[in-house]
Amino acid sequence: MSKKGGFYESVEYYFDRAAPHTGLPQGLLDQIKVCNSVYRMNFPVKLRDEVKVIEAYRVQHSHHRTPTKGGIRFSNHVNQEEVMALASLMSYKCAIVDVPFGGAKGGVKINPWEYTPEELEKITRRYTAELIKRNMIGPSVDVPAPDYGTGSREMAWIYDTYRAFKGDEIDAAGCVTGKPVTQNGVRGREEATGRGVFYGIREACNVPEDMKKIGLSAGTKGKTFVLQGLGNVGTFTGKICQEEGGMILVGVGEVEGAIYNPDGIDINDLLQYRKANGSMLNYPGVQSYDKAQREIALEFECDVLVPAALESVITINNASRIKAKIIAEAANGPVAADAEEVLLAAGKLIIPDFYLNAGGVTVSYFEWLKNLSHMRFGRMDKRFNQGRMMDMVNLIERMTNRDVTNEEMKIIARGADEIDLVRSGLEETMITAYHQIREVMVVNPKINDLRTAAMVNAINKISNDYMSLGIWP
């Protein structure tokens, strides 16, 4: 593998490729590129009557805006370079979708599936205590979120630990996002990344001239897609693409293997089958491939390939065998930089990760705002808006001499719930960001891919902050 094949090296390569298109001075580019703070920590935890030393990280890539923001992953593959790469992507991601955070990321080097919930709680709380001790967590400092191997449960533990140390802080709930709704979380956070992936795919597919270049018709309806990964992101992406986009799932890759059916797979039925049988292999009507062949899912015939698992799954070794016309990067860094060159040369459209999976941080931003305002979205105006819509319906009834049915009334005259507002805000964010990125590519003939355009857009936005605020002293 070339130097560009590594995850962190790939991120730096993408930055360096985009930088000349910005016209910014090298010193400013150097500041934007570098990770501002890199913390490695080792702490003891007593587990099963013995002491285990845990290796962990928190990286704050950029302080051009604060707080910094980024998830915490639990994985035995965690290392400093991986966390630095993910933190860097978070800065660019936040800039692209106009979320006012600097980028950060955390990692704890454990296999979470080897520990009991009680042991995971001990590790999570001790990691949180280490962050508090170093002033690396807080609603105005650094706001973690879930990532690979963590979820709302772990975020609740982090919140409770922070509150125990900072009991007099009125905005303590804003110290972490991705919490359960009952613990000051926000509705729609669980589906946010997958829903954002769908919105991004939809926007790309809705540009007729771009679809024509790759031999596809405009729109998502009827387009075939393959999911690599059935975690939170892959599952919600698959469901929403199928149910709201009219797309046809033809293949899936997971840890136990891969399945393929060109006639389509119902994702809800597949998930039920997998839950009941412990594996998706031998699902009725599909061709199954065992664990040793699981990567073949990336090479299935389809219109859209959605890698939704871990980084660097498409490499220089398999890039030439990718048949999909659109690669939608739901995971972070699924395409190595040298592999991307092969894909672009083959005329593929790549929707880059730091735009496409920004739904999570976007809705995390909404949750943070909710925590600072101490009020559920929609509480103040839902009934007012519902009343205004009912007044309008009544007016239409009088003018048309036609009664609106109860079912029609339920559809028309309703106020927005929190999840409606979250989805609306997410959709607006993903639509606006996609067309900003595409505009950069359209107006600059030297830029011919969305990733470079997205990176140019992100660098310019971050540089504007530095130039507006100045550098002190």
Q: Token pair for residue 400?
A: 């048309």
For the chain, the 3-state helix, strand and coil shares in percent, each to the nearest 5, are: 50, 15, 35
460 to each of 98, 437, 444, 456, how far by Cα in Å?
12, 12, 14, 6
Fill in the DSSP letter of residue 172. Answer: G
Q: Note if the bond before 473 is cis, omega within 30 degrees.
A: yes
The sheet that has 257-260: what strands, in order across it? 287-289, 257-260, 248-254, 224-228, 304-307, 326-328, 349-351
Q: How far apart are CA 70 and CA 361, in angstroms?
A: 8
- Catalytic pick from 4, 105, 179, 325? 105
The strand pair at 142-146 and 102-108 is best described as unpaired
CB 59, CB 105: distance < 8 Å = yes
214-221, long-range: CB < 8 A, 24+ apart = 214/325, 214/326, 214/347, 214/348, 214/349, 215/325, 216/303, 216/325, 216/326, 220/245, 220/246, 220/247, 221/245, 221/246, 221/247
CB-hemisphere CA count at 13 Å for 206? Answer: 11
Residues 6+ apart with CB under 8 A from 102: 36, 60, 61, 62, 63, 64, 65, 66, 67, 68, 69, 91, 94
Nearest to 210 by CA among 342, 349, 343, 327: 349
Nearest to 134 by CA among 64, 76, 203, 59: 59
Q: Token pair for residue 22?
A: 């910005």
Q: How far apart are CA 316 and CA 340, in angstroms?
A: 8
The strand pair at 50-60 and 102-108 is best described as antiparallel
Fill in the DSSP letter of residue 203. Answer: H
161 to each of 98, 178, 287, 316, how far by Cα in Å?
30, 15, 48, 44
Q: Is 105 a catalytic residue?
A: yes
Nearest to 103 by CA among 77, 129, 142, 137: 142
CB 261, CB 251: distance < 8 Å = yes
Judged on CB neighbours under 10 Å (0-12, 13-18, 19+), 286 is: buried
Q: Which residues are marked as active site? A: 105
